[in-house]
Structure 1
């Protein structure tokens, strides 16, 4: 998969923006001593950060503490502005599982200075993405479970019912503030259990029987 494509079933889809939602699970916010937000906390990743299934993960040489963050990922199939929450799920083309890889030491230094997080979030292979399952096969995105295993050991378990901002609310918010277009990806936030990865680690992700993927760290 090229750096600018997502895989929806057997189809390649050009990726537009990559929106990410931070602090969307209370337990994860607590483990990093972050406050809960009154509205979705949004940051962006460049498309050059995308890594398809099986692509080797490269840790940036400017960080010594890169963390995994396992997340439900959405692919927008129909763009729009000011999308109503009641219609938001109609704009989703597919659902998958992914990793928001984060250089935690770099992020912490940036936050302490009031600087943006892009250097911590946007390096090559920082946005891992499985093959996406068509949205028609997902009855309710708020009733999904997912997990991440590192070298076979369970590291993160997620329940989308615990999201502080559910999928429809995220889509409505992003459409109102930024506008959405076909091909945009949305990383919806990670549950607790984030931790550092090391060279040679094997990361295995599953999404409720709908998607799975594996990555190995160089």
Structure 2
């Protein structure tokens, strides 16, 4: 299996796709895109214009997988159990958490903090607003507390083994960590879990992601931070 992944390096869904393909040992080439530009190739591949988009072949026929749910579903079809537990309770929990990140975490945290820290500088929309940053950070604390509670009694987010939930969560948190938005010392179980994720081979390419004009937190590339 192989293909081309069109992605934006600081889009959490794109990062999750890169992690998932890496963990499933799917060979892929990366095409980094800027989805806000009018000539972005993603606009011709996905009606929504949003990355990630994975282009591959299925029985010698072209196959275009638009956005993260389609990519995760395809991986599971190709390699059942690769990124979802075989235990039905843990599978349900993994899917619940993936959906929670796609909806609540995205709406309450990413749409606020990443808009202020990432989108505004890239699109030249002015400086971050203090009120919005406070709101996003308070929302982030609530979500981190929930994750800390899960990891205080589990090896991985959905249970005993690595799953889609861990990869999606790590993708979201890694973008926030780039900007130094996660106070890891306040969340010891979450920090230990993230250190394990950060040390996996699939994660290493994410640590080299950079954008001109954006400064990574000093600890961003450290495996033992």
TM, length-normalised to structure 1: 0.24
Structure ranking higher on relative contact order (CA contacts 8 Å, 6+ apart) = 1
- Structure (1/2) with the larger helix percentage: 2
Q: Which structure has the larger Rg?
A: 2
Q: Which has the higher strand share?
A: 1
